[in-house]
Amino acid sequence: MKIIALVPVRNEAWVLTHSLASLSGFCDVIIVSDQSSEDESRDICRRFSKVVLLESAGSKISTQVRWDLFDAARGYDGCNLLWCTDADELVSPRAARACLEARRDQLVPGTVVECMFVHPWHSAARYRVFDWRYAPQLKPLAFVDDRRMDYDRSRPHSIHEPRVPEESARRVLQAPELHVLHLQWLLANRTQMRQAWYRCKELLDGKPAAAINEYYAGTLPDRSARTAEMPAAWTEGLTFPDLAADREPSWNEREILAWFAQYGPARFEPLEIWHLAPLRKAFVEAVGRQPRPDRSYRPSWPALARHFGRRVAAAARRRLPL
């Protein structure tokens, strides 16, 4: 059984050296699908002997790219373990080797593997805790291909499809001892712009603005986020990128501004994206006033007050002697 990593890439030079080094430490093959990167991503890929580079003439969304990567992995004989990752994810090679070796007998064809997904928070030394979205939690990240599994390919334009073919899996294997670090929030500015890009893309695809805002509400800046110190075992053998890239405009920002030029910023006014200075500036210059996003999904202040009052009353009743 080979271990084959599948990695979609678009302008990931800021982190790609580190993620490919991590994957090279425990994978036999790394298949990268590059979506017309404008930075050094393709040159970086060519420096790693285990990388098989697929170069796309255009740019596809991640769902379609994962299907292409999966089809390419089928070119290798056998029931292989496919490690479905992103360029901004790192895992200790030693920990990955130890986990997969210890569970070798459980890695039978048709098995989906769930690992702990961890979010370093503005620093490689700390990670997010006590949050339903960003606290460490099990996530399907790999599967052993039985040569019959496949993705549901009926939604080719959906952004947030599972990265593994869960519906056709025979069993799920949980590996909570293996921690995969998602570095997205190390670049807070870029991450906010990426989330804004998702909102704009879904609006252009016809989804209602209020529903989009509600779905992405948890990604808005949170000054009260709680963190904990990163255990050394989770980062053993890893290197981390220079965070100076967070000061440079991203491809997401350039594409959003191109959409503004094509459709007008007012088309996107209902979205909660205006905390980002370049986008707010473009809106004010074009429309002549501040944007008013649609926050109708949020409970009204009276409703919040009633909810808080009920919680206080319930807590008081619990303290009353019987």
pLDDT in tens, 242-277: 999 899 999 999 999 999 999 999 999 999 999 999
Please tell me whether the overall predicted TM-score, pTM, comes out greater than 0.85 for this model.
Answer: yes
Can you spell out the DSSP letters for 42-55? HHHHTT-TTEEEEE
Say which DSSP state 120 is in: B
Per-residue pLDDT, averaged over 122-133, amounts to 93
Tell me the percentage of the chain whose pLDDT exceeds 70.
Answer: 93
pLDDT of residue 309 exceeding 90: no
Structure tokens at 261: 């030029």
Quote the mean pLDDT of the chain.
92
| Residue 90, beta-bridge partner list | 181
CA distances 110 to 16, 81, 116, 139, 189, Å, are 29, 10, 20, 17, 39
In angstroms, the CA 82 to CA 2 distance is 8
CA distances from residue 29 to 7, 50, 119, 200, 213 in whole angstroms, order as listed? 11, 5, 26, 35, 39
In this prediction, residue 61 carries a pLDDT of: 79
Residue 90 above 80 pLDDT? yes
* 309-321: average pLDDT: 55
pLDDT: is 213 or 309 the higher one?
A: 213
For residue 6, report the phi and psi dihedrals to the nearest 5 degrees: -120, 120
Mean pLDDT of 208-231: 94
Q: Where are the extended beta strands (E) located within the chain?
A: 3-9, 29-35, 51-56, 81-84, 89-91, 111-118, 126-129, 137-144, 171-182, 226-229
**The domain at 3-113+139-184 falls in which architecture?**
Alpha-Beta Complex (3.90)
Residue 59: pLDDT band with limits 50, 70, 90:
confident
102 CB-near residues (< 8 Å, 6+ apart): none
**pLDDT band of 302, cuts 50, 70, 90:** low
Encoding tokens for residue 132?
Answer: 């339903």
- Tokens found for residue 96: 């990955």
Residue 128 has which token pair? 């997010």
User: CA 275, 277, 280: angle at the middle one, nearest 5?
Assistant: 75
Using alpha carbons, select from 134, 27, 95 the residue that is nearest to residue 235: 95
pLDDT band at 155 (very low <50, low <70, confident <90, very high): confident
Query: Do the Cβ atoms of 52 and 32 come closer than 8 Å?
Result: yes
**Residues 79-108, mean pLDDT to the nearest whole number:** 97
Mean pLDDT value of segment 287-296: 96
pLDDT level of residue 306 (50, 70, 90 thresholds): low
Are 91 and 177 in contact, with CB atoms under 8 Å apart? no
Range in 119-128, 156-165, 238-247 the model is least confident about:
156-165
Model confidence pLDDT, tens digit, residues 27-55: 999 999 999 999 999 999 999 999 999 98
Please tell me what DSSP assigns to residue 5: E
- Of the pLDDT bands very low, low, confident and very high (cuts 50, 70, 90), residue 301 is low
Q: Quick one: pLDDT at residue 312? A: 55
Measured distance CA(61)–CA(222) in Å, rounded? 28
Per-residue pLDDT band for 299 (boundaries 50, 70, 90) equals: confident
Query: So what's the pLDDT on residue 56?
Result: 82
Task: Tell me the domain boundaries of the chain.
Answer: 3-113+139-184
Query: 111 CB contacts (<8 Å, ≥6 apart)?
Result: 143, 144, 169, 170, 171, 172, 173
pLDDT score of 320 more than 60:
no
Stated as kind and residue range, the H or E segment containing 213 is helix 209-216
* Strand boundaries in 158-314, DSSP class E: 171-182, 226-229
Structure tokens of 238?
């890893």
Mean pLDDT of 164-168: 92
